[in-house]
Structures are given as structure tokens and as C-alpha cells.
């Protein structure tokens, strides 16, 4: 997959299909093969092949739906983490504002008290003395404001000072309310994040089970085709090619040959083997895009939530992959291109693909490399898919 793709994308997810049922069907049918006529065996093989290819389509459709669900979970987890980080910043700022406001309020209150004591000591009229006595015994800033206004003990600036104290206390109250709100939001987000992580873990477990089932299904299909009589093998390959790759495709071998030509690389066997292995590893049904590239091109459309594109033609798909591989110097792509142009050993180029950012970590770490030996051993069959 292309450079904009996640390091370890989740791409074929779904519920596991019971492989035991399929195995039993094969055992049962093989027992009847001994006495069945050749035409009956061919009909039976066609029927089983059709059943398997339909199952591939069903599993892929389920996989795309579940992949979208996982992408949604990833987005929600990312958003929650971002908001929690933002709340941490807001909490720190609010605590600092609260401490600064409290310190200022204390300083202003101290000045106000000192001015009141100074006036009392200097001596004032009986009304003012009475007001000041009540001032010093007041329990709220509201009472202070009323007494100051009534007794005219302080100057206008002193009244403003008292008002400022009152405003600061109101600000302190608001800051404390914000602090509590942020703390509550943080607790809720952390709870939601834990739940989303649990859901994600279950989806990843489903992924492992289904990818195993899907791999077994397609391996069974390839094995069955290898055993088919020549008269129906061509029909089987046509049907399976569409099931494996969707309607917009050429065979894996044809695409490999076209791609090396577009990259000015030799069409040596090692290059063809590794490119067929790469396509088979991706196993995507995106139109004209067997490597699941995510580079948008003129007229291309999204195939799935990971950004894989449906291209409008074989030529456009080849151009997109060539452009991606030629413009990812920090993603490990130059090693892939160099391997192809040098006609390096298939496993060597496969290791370069595996180490690149195309799909690093996919297939349990055996992305592309895990298929080289099988495709080397039966290249003609895999190339015809």
C-alpha cells in the first residue's frame, strides 16, 4: 500500500468462517471421487470451486465493512487522545490562572484592610467610625461595598479597589468551576478511550482469525485449480481471477510484466515472482490496482476507508504505482526499485518491500516474503490468477 497508508493497516477483517466444515466437505467429496465418472468429478470440482470463489467474495465484502468500523474506531481514539492532551494543557493553564488570581485577590484584600485600619487610627466622625467598625466586622464583600458607599469612608479609588477584589473573587469562582468541568470531561474521555481500546482489541482478534480463514480459502482454491483437468482449468482461472481481483484486472503475471516494462526493469523471473507475490499478498479487489496504492489520480475513486484507489485503467494503475515508488525516498521505496532494476533475487526484493513503509508489519511480519517460496515453486499457476 502507498506511503499515506497506516504502518500496519487493518484491511481484511470479518468473522471467522469455520474451516472444519469445508475440510469435511473435501474429505466427503474425495471419497466419492474413486467411483465417480470423469465427467461427474469435473462437475463436482466446478461446483466446489464456485462455492469457494463465492465465499471469497462474501468474506471480502464483510472485510471492507469491518475495516471501515476499525478506521472509525481509530479516528475516535485519536480524537479522544488529542482532547485529553488539550485538557491537560487547559488544566495546567486554569490552575496557574487560579493561583495568580488568588494571590492578587489576597494582595488587594490586604491593602483594603490596611486602608481601613489607617482611617480608623487617624480618627473620623462618629458616623464614619461606626461604619468602619462594621466594615472591619463584615463577613462578605457585598457588605463591604454597601458600607463603603454609604459611609463614604474611602475615596472613589478605594471603592474601585474593593470592587476589584469582588471581581477577582467572582473570577476565582469561575476558574474553579472550569477546573471541575475539565476534570469531569477528562475522566469521561478516559473511560470512553478504555472502552474503545477494548473494542479495537476484539476487532484485531477477529482480524487474525479471518485473515487465517481467508488465506486457507484462497490456498484451497489454488490447490484445486492445480488439480483440475486442462479442459476446465482455463474457465476456473477466469472465474477465480475476478473473485480474487474484481472486474478491473489482468492476471497477476500480465500485470507484473507490464509493470517492469513501465519501470524500465528487466522481465527476469525473479522480478516476476516477487511482483506476483506482492499482488497475491495484497489480495485486493480495487480496480486496476493490485498493489492497493493510495495515490489519487484523475478520475480515480476510493475503494476503502484506508484510501486505496480504484483506477480507471491498467495504464493509470501502473503510472500510480510507478510514481509512488519513485517518490518515496524516506519510505524505503528506492531499495525496491533498485532491486527490480538489478534483477535481484526475489526474496531480496521481497525483503525490501517488507521493510518499506508500504505495508510494514502486515501479515504478521511476513508480508510478501511469506509467499516467495510457494510462488517460485508454481509460478505459472499463480501468474495466471
Of 243, 260, 285, 276, which Cα lies nearest the Cα of 374?
A: 276
36: left (phi over 0), alpha (psi -120 to 50) or beta: beta
- The cell 491537560 sits on which residue? 88
* 274 alpha carbon, distance to own chain's centre: 28
Whether residue 232 contacts residue 42, with contact meaning beta carbons closer than 8 Å, is answered with yes
Residue 275: all three cell numbers together: 511482483
- List, for residues 279-297, the tens digit of each pLDDT value: 999 988 899 999 999 999 9
- Look up residue 15 and give its DSSP letter: P
Q: What angle do CA 297, 6, 286 make, to 5 degrees?
A: 45
- Give residue 79's pLDDT: 76
Q: Work out the mean pLDDT of the chain and round it to a whole number.
A: 74
Query: Has residue 18 got a pLDDT over 50?
Result: no
For residue range 74-113, list pLDDT tens digits in order: 777 777 777 777 777 776 777 777 677 677 767 767 776 7
Q: Which of 171, 164, 163, 159 is nearest to 100 (CA)?
A: 171
pLDDT band for 244, please (50, 70, 90 cuts): confident
Sequence ranges of the domains in the chain: 247-385
Does residue 21 surpass a pLDDT of 50? no
User: Which has the closest alpha carbon to 151: 167, 136, 166?
Assistant: 136
Q: What pLDDT, on the 0 to 100 scale, is given for residue 17?
A: 31
pLDDT digits (tens, 9 = 90+) for 172-229: 677 677 777 777 777 777 777 777 777 767 766 776 676 677 777 778 788 878 777 6
In this predicted structure, the answer to whether residue 27 has a pLDDT above a threshold of 70 is: no
| C-alpha cell, 210 | 479471518
Please report, for residues 78, 81, 82, the alpha-carbon distance to residue 85 in angstroms, rounded to integers and kept in the order given.
11, 6, 5
Residue with cell 463614604: 152
For 365, the 3-state DSSP assignment is helix
C-alpha–C-alpha distance, residues 7 and 161, integer Å:
60
pLDDT of residue 265: 97
User: What per-residue confidence (pLDDT) applies to 149?
Assistant: 47
State yes or no: pLDDT of 232 exceeds 70.
Answer: no
Query: pLDDT band at residue 128, thresholds of 50, 70 and 90?
Result: very low
- Whether residue 56 is predicted with pLDDT greater than 50 in this model: the reply is yes
Q: Evaluate whether 161 touches 167 at the Cβ level (below 8 Å).
A: no
pLDDT above 70 for 29: no
- Give me the residue label for grid cell 477546573: 179
pLDDT at 158 over 90: no
Whether the per-residue pLDDT at 154 is higher than 50: the answer is no
**Alpha helix (H) residue ranges in 38-155:** 38-122, 126-137, 141-151
Q: Which residues contact 365 (CB under 8 A, 6 or more apart)?
A: 354
Per-residue pLDDT of 316-333, as tens digits, reads 999 999 999 999 889 999
Q: Please indicate whether residue 241 or residue 5 has the higher confidence score (pLDDT).
A: 241
SS3 306: coil
247 vs 339 pLDDT, higher one:
339
By three-state DSSP, how is residue 301 classified?
Answer: strand
Report how far apart, in Å, the C-alpha atoms of 106 and of each of 94, 99, 112, 168 are: 18, 11, 10, 10
Rounded to the nearest 5°, which phi and psi values hold at 344? Answer: -65, 165
| Residue 66, pLDDT score | 64
Of the listed ranges 50-59, 255-264, 339-348, the least confidently predicted one is 50-59
Total number of residues shown for the chain: 385
Under 8 Å between Cβ of 42 and 50: no
pLDDT > 70? residue 260: yes
Query: Residue 16: CB partners within 8 Å, gap ≥ 6?
Result: 206, 209, 210, 212, 213
Amino acid at each position: 500500500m502507498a506511503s499515506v497508508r497506516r504502518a500496519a493497516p487493518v484491511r481484511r477483517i470479518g468473522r471467522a468462517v469455520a474451516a472444519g466444515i469445508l475440510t469435511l466437505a473435501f474429505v466427503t467429496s474425495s471419497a466419492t471421487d474413486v467411483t465417480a465418472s470423469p465427467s461427474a468429478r469435473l462437475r463436482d470440482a466446478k461446483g466446489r470451486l464456485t462455492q469457494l470463489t463465492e465465499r471469497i467474495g462474501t468474506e471480502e465484502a464483510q472485510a471492507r465493512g469491518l475495516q471501515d468500523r476499525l478506521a472509525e474506531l481509530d479516528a475516535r481514539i485519536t480524537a479522544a487522545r488529542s482532547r485529553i492532551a488539550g485538557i491537560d494543557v487547559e488544566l495546567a493553564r486554569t490552575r496557574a490562572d487560579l493561583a495568580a488570581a488568588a494571590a492578587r485577590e489576597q494582595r488587594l484584600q490586604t491593602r483594603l484592610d490596611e486602608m481601613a485600619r489607617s482611617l480608623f487610627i487617624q480618627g473620623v466622625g462618629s458616623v464614619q467610625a461606626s461604619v468602619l467598625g462594621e466594615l472591619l466586622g463584615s463577613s462578605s464583600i457585598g457588605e463591604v461595598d454597601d458600607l463603603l458607599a454609604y459611609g463614604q469612608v474611602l475615596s472613589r479609588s478605594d471603592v474601585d479597589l474593593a470592587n476589584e477584589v469582588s471581581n477577582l473573587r467572582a473570577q476565582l469562582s469561575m476558574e474553579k468551576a472550569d477546573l471541575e468541568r475539565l476534570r469531569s470531561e477528562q475522566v469521561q474521555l478516559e473511560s470512553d478511550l478504555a472502552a474503545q481500546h477494548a473494542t479495537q482489541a476484539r476487532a484485531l482478534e477477529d482480524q487474525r482469525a479471518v485473515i487465517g480463514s481467508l488465506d486457507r480459502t484462497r490456498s484451497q482454491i489454488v490447490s484445486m485449480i492445480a488439480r483440475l483437468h486442462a479442459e476446465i482449468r482455463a474457465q476456473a482461472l477466469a472465474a477465480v481471477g475476478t473473485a480474487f481481483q474484481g472486474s478491473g484486472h489482468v492476471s497477476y503475471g500480465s500485470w507484473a510484466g507490464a509493470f517492469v516494462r513501465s519501470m524500465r526493469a528487466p522481465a527476469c523471473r525473479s522480478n516476476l515472482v516477487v511482483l506476483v507475490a506482492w499482488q497475491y499478498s495484497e489480495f485486493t479487489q480495487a480496480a486496476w490496482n493490485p498493489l492497493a496504492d493510495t495515490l489519487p489520480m484523475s478520475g480515480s475513486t476510493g475503494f476503502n476507508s484506508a484510501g486505496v484507489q480504484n483506477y480507471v485503467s491498467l495504464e493509470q494503475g501502473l503510472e500510480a504505482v510507478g510514481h509512488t515508488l519513485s517518490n518515496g525516498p524516506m519510505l524505503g521505496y528506492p531499495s525496491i526499485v533498485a532491486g527490480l532494476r538489478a534483477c535481484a533475487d526475489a526474496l531480496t526484493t521481497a525483503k525490501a518491500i517488507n521493510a518499506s513503509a508500504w505495508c510494514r508489519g502486515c501479515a504478521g511480519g511476513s508480508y510478501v516474503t511469506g509467499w516467495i517460496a510457494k510462488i517460485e515453486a508454481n509460478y505459472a499457476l499463480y501468474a495466471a490468477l
